[in-house]
Chains A and B, each alone.
Chain A
């Protein structure tokens, strides 16, 4: 082996597994520190709009949301809130910031926004069909119409909104809020074909559309196959179908005794709706243990507040029918058992079967995709579960002209995912229509700006509130249960919104460390209220994590690592529970620490345009 070869080989040898300095120029690094934004499928800049709310800049707060998640008023009431379990506040005290409820505040208190809407470019001659008028399709329309596309929306219902209209009861989402946000997009100049059930994708493709977006959701409620099912047709209802028929006012009453099967959010909407349509004794009966119910905790809580009983560990066995009429359901009692891998099995307890009397049954045990209208010979592949093959990044199907999004793409999720899909599909469609590579994605719009105003003054409010999470006031129960259209949650008033907003830790205001300025005086270590700053010897990551002042046990939370300092040590900051209070920067004599606001706006179809 020649000397050169040896040297080359030596260089290829893995170095000592020491931690390398963190590359903060990679937008993902600071983005990940903003837990709420990182967890949001649409990556809405949460702390920034919360700050706007605290400053009573509701219109600005609304617009930050609108640009990112399109339906702030709807989502402020109905979002699944992946941001809240991620919220850093939930790790330093009991409850996260009420992010979702603050979003609603922005929608409730905002001023006029018509003048802030995007300009609609001249028509570019391209035509895009959106099949289904739900959140995914509307997001595609919102992103593409301003760029000059002609967007044609097809929906089987008489109005746009999709599942936001048909599955979410009006007492959770007032129609006026929904109409306003749906119509705003349609008024950009979308062509609509409502009451139009698309029966053939082939036919749509044969028309002169440059691209087709499928956003038809997961429209098929799962049925239950137990003895007696066929005899109870009249009093058995599939949950989502029943909710839709209530929403369009085809159904206005239900029996006095109602059983809701299932433990997800649809089950919660069903039972609460039933309670308003004449159901007096409404029970939710679920197979799983209570703690493993799929519904969001707050929706379960709201249902229980309306005196709805939840029976868990009950598996339906057969329907009881007398004289051709449903009288009840027989349940087997079960208990969960877990194997070594943690997989759950429900095993019978051996107790006597439980009979629960009822007049009506609402079945909310899941929903599925259903594509009988897509021909299988148009170059659009389906997988073994009969789901279309869709690219996770571009949302393009194997027929390059057809894109999917929302529940239609990968199965039931929720509105915020549909919006995120819609944005990504719009980028792809825009690329595709310009004959560009759909895999080229626009970069996010990122800024990092120092918040320093003086020696110890920042342009953000670092003196966070110690208060606990504020509860949203509810409408009085008796009148709420009488009126199906009376919204139950009243939303925060301005005072409460301000107090709640002050709980936000400003995780977007980043601690930025410049190692060349550091004199290793320890001032930041001494002042940090949550012991996240360390000056220690380098090592491999697990070793470094174990040697911190408080060991960093959560591998999902990053360590911010500096280059080697004059004493041979490195600065290691555990991002996990940093309060972003800025005291490290205030106590730093050399401004080696700075507090800089990191604002990231996801790339959208329009950004791609500007770059091109």
Chain B
């Protein structure tokens, strides 16, 4: 870890967004993760996405559990709200926060241990309930904080640092999210911000549960030959299914593409996602096909990346539960306490 604070000086020509802020204004504290950790790149991608979306930092909450990944909310958006919860319990805290104040955007950052092991049950139900949030898993296939044991997402064929074999099959979190009903599922790579940043922007503009599985190599415990989550292996075996362009509301589309090669999807806030299909047969609105596609690549020892599944028709948690359209924390005594007549009529109905 570095002992000095990041100098406050920034490039004099650094672009400013519509709020008059530079991307440096979206940063957080100095990272204490290992040098070269993929997680820091994910933090940088979140910073970039929020800057480009002109998001006011105080309109956003960062949620996390325990692990290297869950430390990272400290390292971005220092002016946002945040909650660092118990191991694997971020989804329930995020669900509660979301119900209490749905005017904030929620970014949950978790890891493969926090999501695929201790928090697997919590994760499943947050997906199933369509909590309106962006859930990012910084997936490195290893327990870095406890010095490199296999995690549940480590591929069966992937070897440990000293050549140890893995006895179990891995959990594919993207496939799992599709199966559990997430309405936005993508997979990215910490080393490829060109792909990751637009995907985060789209996910933050999406209403409902957006899940991004980010392969984020652990440089210390899982970046060796024989690992399937190393920088080198991933770059060699990644298969991008779709390239995502995020198009802000009212922004003109300039590039032209061959008919049938792009799919435009309008999101809830009238921004659009343009998916350039790199695999002509791919249909990102078909969950069964998406799953099949992911499995097919897995069989070949490859990893499918890009925006894998998108459904803008489904409703999110608060709509499903038919709740009031204002944040619960804004409801006062008048709204929450029935007057005498009302109480009387309620009581009467129960007699």
Partner-B contacts on A (CB < 8 A): 91-93, 455-457, 462-464, 466, 519-523, 525-527, 529-532, 550-551, 553, 566-567, 577, 579, 581, 583, 586-590
In the complex, are the beta carbons of A567 and B235 less than 8 A apart? yes
In the complex, are the beta carbons of A550 and B11 less than 8 A apart? yes
In the complex, are the beta carbons of B191 and A520 less than 8 A apart? yes
In the complex, are the beta carbons of B9 and A527 less than 8 A apart? no
Binds A, one of B36-44, B144-152, B199-207: B36-44
In the complex, are the beta carbons of A520 and B231 less than 8 A apart? yes
In the complex, are the beta carbons of B6 and A583 less than 8 A apart? yes
- B189 shortest CB reach to chain A, Å: 10
Q: Bound state CA distance, A579 and B6, in angstroms?
A: 11
- Which one of A93, A455, A583 has the greatest number of beta carbons of chain B within 10 Å? A583
Other than the given A463-B4, A521-B38, A532-B11, 8 more pairs (CB < 8 A) read A520-B235, A527-B6, A530-B9, A531-B10, A566-B232, A579-B7, A586-B35, A589-B36
Interface size, B (range): 35 or more
Contact of B9 among A521, A566, A579 (CB under 8 A): A579
Given contacts A522-B190, A522-B193, contact A529 B12 (CB under 8 A): no
- Kindly list chain B residues whose C-beta atoms are within 8 Å of the C-beta of A589: 34-37, 219-220, 223
Q: Bound state CA distance, A506 and B274, in angstroms?
A: 46
Q: Bound state CA distance, A567 and B236, in angstroms?
A: 9
**Chain B, Cβ-Cβ closest to A520:** B191
- Kindly list chain A residues whose C-beta atoms are within 8 Å of the C-beta of B24: 529
Contact of B13 among A529, A551, A579, A588 (CB under 8 A): A551
Given contacts A466-B8, A577-B12, A587-B40, contact A521 B191 (CB under 8 A): yes
**Chain B, Cβ-Cβ closest to A519:** B231
Determine if B333 is an interface residue (Cβ-Cβ < 8 Å).
no
Given contacts A521-B191, A589-B35, contact A526 B43 (CB under 8 A): yes
Q: Bound state CA distance, A115 and B35, in angstroms?
A: 47
Q: Bound state CA distance, A466 and B9, in angstroms?
A: 8
In the complex, are the beta carbons of A521 and B231 less than 8 A apart? yes
Contact of B219 among A92, A521, A577 (CB under 8 A): A521
- Which one of A457, A462, A526, A583 has the greatest number of beta carbons of chain B within 10 Å? A526
- Kindly list chain A residues whose C-beta atoms are within 8 Å of the C-beta of B3: 456-457
In the complex, are the beta carbons of B1 and A519 less than 8 A apart? no
A-B contact pairs, 19 of them (CB 8 A): A456-B1, A466-B8, A522-B41, A529-B6, A529-B24, A530-B10, A530-B11, A531-B14, A550-B11, A550-B13, A551-B13, A553-B13, A566-B235, A579-B9, A581-B7, A583-B2, A587-B40, A589-B35, A589-B219
Determine if B217 is an interface residue (Cβ-Cβ < 8 Å).
yes
In the complex, are the beta carbons of A526 and B6 less than 8 A apart? no
Given contacts A521-B217, A521-B231, contact A466 B36 (CB under 8 A): no
- Which one of A463, A466, A522 has the greatest number of beta carbons of chain B within 10 Å? A522
- B230 shortest CB reach to chain A, Å: 9
**Chain A, Cβ-Cβ closest to B34:** A589
Contact of B4 among A92, A519, A530, A581 (CB under 8 A): A581
**Chain A, Cβ-Cβ closest to B23:** A531
Q: Bound state CA distance, A238 and B204, in angstroms?
A: 74
Given contacts A526-B43, A583-B2, A587-B2, contact A519 B232 (CB under 8 A): yes
**Chain A, Cβ-Cβ closest to B235:** A567
Q: Bound state CA distance, A414 and B143, in angstroms?
A: 65
- Kindly list chain B residues whose C-beta atoms are within 8 Å of the C-beta of A456: 1-3
Contact of B40 among A93, A523, A553, A567 (CB under 8 A): A523
- B68 shortest CB reach to chain A, Å: 14
